[in-house]
């Protein structure tokens, strides 16, 4: 695999960053994952804008190559023959050659790393037909989940708890309300209304969420952006999640209870179809 590190395209075994890099020592880094379908980038502009916002919120310098990110993504797709898959991008505050809680001064340049993951046929995931099972767990993450940082230990723990329970993912609950999934935004459907938590610092502002809600409104579906509980979700007609790597994925079971018919719902199926079709059209 060819990867990108600070201006260079290299074989992955030759790619190196410092052991003092603050992403390694302090999780002082932010990231984005952009999907590739048919060799083209899905929602690239949304991911680039959110990256810029994450950097601003953490007062992290923009990498010098920020304006070349589209070119870098395209070069990695080309070099690795990616048809369907993902591009992972990470920016960290870099390395001052020592360990220090205080941020280094501006002469220390951020570290920029990108790599690809090939996932042939990812848009035809069998899970879209069967749906996923989720458990609910406490949301024990920090309070700035709107910033896409690489502090992913608790989400990893959540996935492991789900796996141990024979499920696919966990929905996180704070003060009695679902915030989001470990790596996705969460939705329920009641009657003809789509319900998903309102944007705030409590959740990541999903790029897929923004696109799916736009398509839903354009298709005259009703959308309510508000918090919901596990009880309300278990009593819903449908549930689903969205993320750049899963698009729209139905949820059919929550804490052992079937949602609706226990089969993927028609609203989720329709949104998945619209999202994939429109995203492929708009891909660059
Ligand atoms: N919430 C969390 C916590 C996530 O990690 C992700 C995906 N990285 C999302 C939501 C979905 O965001 P997006 O649609 O931009 O992939």
The string of pLDDT tens digits covering residues 184-208 is 999 999 999 999 999 999 999 999 9
Alpha-carbon gap, residue 223 to 217, rounded angstroms? 7
The string of pLDDT tens digits covering residues 31-41 is 999 999 999 99
* C-beta 206 within 6 A of ligand 1: yes
Q: Whose CA is nearest to atom 2 of ligand 1?
A: 183
Alpha-carbon gap, residue 132 to 81, rounded angstroms? 30
Options 3.20.20.80, 3.30.530.20, 3.40.190.10, 3.30.470.10; CATH of 2-121: 3.30.470.10
Q: Residue 190: what pLDDT?
A: 98
Q: Whose CA is nearest to atom 3 of ligand 1?
A: 183
Report pTM: 0.97
* C-beta 141 within 6 A of ligand 1: no
* C-beta 279 within 6 A of ligand 1: no
| Residue found under tokens 């790596």 | 183
Residue 140 pLDDT > 90, yes or no?
A: yes
Q: Whose CA is nearest to atom 1 of ligand 1?
A: 184
Q: What is the DSSP letter of 284?
A: -
Q: Residue 197: what pLDDT?
A: 98
For residue 37, give both structure tokens.
């379908």
**Domain spans in the chain, listed from the N-terminal domain onward:** 2-121, 127-282
Q: How far is CA 259 from CA 96, 155, 230, 231, 235, in A?
A: 51, 23, 11, 11, 7
Residue 96 pLDDT > 90, yes or no?
A: no
From 35, 152, 183, 202, give the residue whose CB has the most ligand 1 atoms within 8 Å, as the site to mutate: 183
* C-beta 48 within 6 A of ligand 1: no
Q: What phi, psi does 129 have (nearest 5°)?
A: -90, -35
Alpha-carbon gap, residue 250 to 242, rounded angstroms? 9
CATH topology for the 127-282 domain = D-amino Acid Aminotransferase; Chain A, domain 2 (3.20.10)
The string of pLDDT tens digits covering residues 27-68 is 999 999 999 999 999 999 999 999 999 999 999 999 999 999
For residue 146, give both structure tokens.
């709107």
The more confidently predicted of residues 96 and 76 is 76
- Give CA torsion, residues 60, 17, 31, 274, to 10 deg: 140
Instruction: Let me know if 62 is a catalytic residue.
Output: no
Q: For 124-137, what is the mean pLDDT? A: 97
Q: How far is CA 237 from CA 82, 109, 232, 263, in A?
A: 37, 50, 10, 10
Active-site residue (options: 40, 133, 148, 159): 148
């Amino acid at each position: 695999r060819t990867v990108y590190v600070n201006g260079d395209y290299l074989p992955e075994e030759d790619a190196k960053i410092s052991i003092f890099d603050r992403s390694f020592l302090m999780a002082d880094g932010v990231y984005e994952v952009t999907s590739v379908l048919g060799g083209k980038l899905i929602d690239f502009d949304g991911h680039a804008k959110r990256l810029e916002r994450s950097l601003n919120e953490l007062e992290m310098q923009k990498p010098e190559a920020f304006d070349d990110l589209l070119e870098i993504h395209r070069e990695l797709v080309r070099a690795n023959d990616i048809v369907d898959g993902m591009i992972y991008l990470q920016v960290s505050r870099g390395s001052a050659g020592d360990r220090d809680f205080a941020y280094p001064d501006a002469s220390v340049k951020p570290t920029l790393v990108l790599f690809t993951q090939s996932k042939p046929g990812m848009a035809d995931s069998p899970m879209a037909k069967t749906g996923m099972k989720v458990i609910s767990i406490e949301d024990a993450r920090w309070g700035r989940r709107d910033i896409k940082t690489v502090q992913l230990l608790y989400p990893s723990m959540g996935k492991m708890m789900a796996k141990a329970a024979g499920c696919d993912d966990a929905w996180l609950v704070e003060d009695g309300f679902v915030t989001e999934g470990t790596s996705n935004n969460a939705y329920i459907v009641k009657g003809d209304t789509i319900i998903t938590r309102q944007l705030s610092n409590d959740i990541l502002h999903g790029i897929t969420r923004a696109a799916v809600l736009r398509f839903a409104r354009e298709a005259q579906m009703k959308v309510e952006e508000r918090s919901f509980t596990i009880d309300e979700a278990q009593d819903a007609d449908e549930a689903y999640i969205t993320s750049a790597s899963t698009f729209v994925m139905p949820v059919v079971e929550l804490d052992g209870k079937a949602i609706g018919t226990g089969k993927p719902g028609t609203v989720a199926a329709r949104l998945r179809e619209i999202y994939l079709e429109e995203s492929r059209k708009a891909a660059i």
